[in-house]
């Protein structure tokens, strides 16, 4: 399997280094071979080439089976024009790879329940859900849009528009993800008010016919926002449109209370997908061996689970093994600073990697 690896800026290099060690271990244990191509993006790319997303990086990514990204950005580049800032690299690569589906799991390891914001009796029921957010349509991209003067006052408008093929393909990602998990899918919309949601619901119901094993439910977005903090254990996979997904995925991830623990995947019609931790480049702790590498290591697990091809065979077992190793490491008490608690074994980025490797 060919992986394009983009360490990026700040803690990016440190956390990606640990992820690469995990891939080596997977090779040793399972025989899966990885061809790693490193590429530049973000601030590192600006320093080297003047562009946040050099053409060579796009070419390497397109030729790969998957892309693994650390994080980009930092104060050094904050004064640059927005058009050439590091974050432009992110938007650019998402576009180049046609990534229309963003998968953000929010799972709480019971070992970390002290970090969770919710009441203990709610936490005890467990949080293990996945938000599948449509990423390239809806109000963020719909036209017409703008601000103009009508009848002597300023009017602002955007257009939440979805074609049925856009709904169908994201719904499929939702059902496929549910098939890989507990086979429950909740489609979130606002079909009681929005016409675009009425179509969303219709198309999701059509796609559901191909997935008789998945238990499908529908929920209005306002209720979903409430249910996520009232009883997150009721959810397995949530599929929703861009704007609702932006808000719900942030809500879902923050309730677990651990930014250094959460991976993500962005998928297109075909490979390569892009896999990255949800956090940024953490300039405040960069270069100090303090970063938590687990979000990136768990992103590797997602990478294997969602990039399986005929060539590689099903890499679900490899993904499971990585997740088990992370769980065991937490059970043994290893903690980086962001998830520390009294009596834990406080370690740095490298030593956390060592512990995961040993368990793997």
Binding partner of 281, given ligand NAI, Mg ion, none, CB within 5-8 angstroms per partner class = ligand NAI
Catalytic residue among 128, 220, 250, 328: 250
For position 246 contacting Mg ion by CB under 5 A, the verdict is yes
Instruction: Name the binder of 246 from Mg ion, ligand NAI, none, CB < 5-8 A by kind.
Output: Mg ion
113 is catalytic: no
Which residue's Cβ has the minimum distance to ligand NAI?
A: 280
Is residue 75 marked as binding?
Answer: yes
User: How far is residue 269 from each of residues 55, 65, 71, 165, 286, measured CA to CA in Å?
Assistant: 22, 13, 24, 12, 35
The catalytically annotated residue of 25, 190, 211, 306 is 190
Q: Tell me whether residue 39 or residue 265 sits nearer to Mg ion (CB atom).
A: 265
* Cβ nearer to Mg ion, comparing 249 with 307: 249
Give the CA distances from residue 8 to residues 69, 282, 328, in Å, rounded to whole numbers and listed in that order.
Answer: 7, 12, 29
Contact predicate 268/349, CB 8 Å = no
Q: CA 211, CA 43: separation in Å to the nearest integer?
A: 43
Q: Figure out which of the listed residues 92, 142, 283, 316 binds ligand NAI, where binding follows CB under 6 A.
A: 283
Q: Between 241 and 246, whose beta carbon lies closer to Mg ion?
A: 246
Q: Does 276 bind Mg ion (CB under 5 A)?
A: no
Tell me the Cα Rg of the chain: 20
Active-site annotation holds for 314: no
Residue 101 contact partner, candidates Mg ion, ligand NAI, none, CB within 5 to 8 A by sort of partner: none
Could you confirm whether 121 is annotated as catalytic?
no
Which parts of 63-163 fold into alpha helices (H)?
A: 86-96, 120-123
Query: Is the Cβ–Cβ distance between 104 and 249 less than 8 Å?
Result: yes
323's enclosing H/E stretch is helix 316-331
By beta-carbon proximity to ligand NAI, the closer residue of 46 and 282 is 282
Print the binding letters for residues 36-75 with ligand NAI: x by CB under 6 A, - otherwise.
-----------------------------------xxxx-
Instruction: Please state the closest distance from residue 264 (CB atom) to ligand NAI, in A.
Output: 9
Within 50-94, strands assigned E span 66-71
Count H helices and E strands in the chain, helices first. Answer: 12, 14
CB-based contact 295:263 (threshold 8 Å): yes
Q: How far apart are CA 24 and CA 7, in angstroms?
A: 17
Q: Are 51 and 18 in contact (CB under 8 A)?
A: no
The contact set with Mg ion (CB under 5 A) reads 246, 250
Q: Where on the chain is the footprint of ligand NAI (CB under 6 A)?
A: 11, 71-74, 87, 90, 259-260, 276, 279-285, 291-292, 295, 336, 338
Residues assigned a catalytic role: 140, 190, 222, 246, 250
């Amino acid at each position: 399997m060919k992986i394009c690896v983009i360490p990026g800026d700040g803690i990016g290099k440190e956390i990606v280094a640990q992820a690469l060690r995990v891939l080596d271990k997977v090779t040793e244990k399972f025989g899966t071979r990885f061809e790693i191509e490193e590429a530049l993006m973000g601030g590192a790319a600006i320093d080297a080439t003047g562009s946040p997303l050099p053409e060579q990086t796009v070419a390497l990514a397109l030729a790969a089976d998957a892309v693994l990204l650390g994080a980009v950005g930092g104060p050094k580049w904050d004064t640059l024009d927005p058009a050439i800032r590091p974050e432009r690299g992110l938007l650019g690569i998402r576009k180049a790879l046609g990534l229309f589906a963003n998968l953000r799991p929010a799972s709480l390891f019971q070992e970390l329940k002290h970090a969770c914001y919710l009441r203990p009796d709610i936490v005890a029921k467990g949080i293990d859900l996945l938000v599948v957010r449509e990423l390239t349509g809806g109000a963020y991209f719909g036209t017409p849009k703008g601000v103009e003067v009508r009848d002597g006052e300023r009017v602002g408008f955007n257009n939440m528009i979805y074609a049925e093929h856009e709904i169908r393909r994201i719904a499929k990602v939702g059902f496929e993800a549910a098939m890989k998990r507990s086979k429950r899918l909740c489609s979130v919309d606002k079909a009681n008010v929005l016409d675009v949601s009425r179509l969303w619901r219709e198309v999701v119901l059509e796609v559901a016919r191909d997935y008789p094993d998945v238990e499908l439910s529908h929920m209005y977005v306002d209720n979903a926002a409430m249910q996520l903090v009232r009883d997150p254990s009721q959810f397995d996979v949530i599929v929703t449109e861009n704007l609702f997904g932006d808000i719900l995925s942030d809500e879902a991830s923050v309730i677990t209370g651990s930014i250094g623990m959460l991976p993500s995947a962005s998928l297109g019609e075909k490979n390569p997908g892009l896999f990255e931790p949800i956090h940024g480049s953490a300039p405040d702790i960069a270069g100090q061996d303090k970063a938590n590498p687990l979000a990136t290591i768990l992103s590797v697990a997602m990478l294997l689970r969602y990039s399986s091809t005929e060539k590689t065979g099903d890499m679900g077992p490899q993904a499971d093994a990585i997740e088990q190793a992370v769980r065991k490491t937490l059970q043994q008490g290893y903690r980086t600073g962001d998830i520390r608690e009294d009596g834990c074994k406080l370690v740095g980025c490298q030593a956390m990697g060592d512990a995961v490797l040993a368990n793997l």
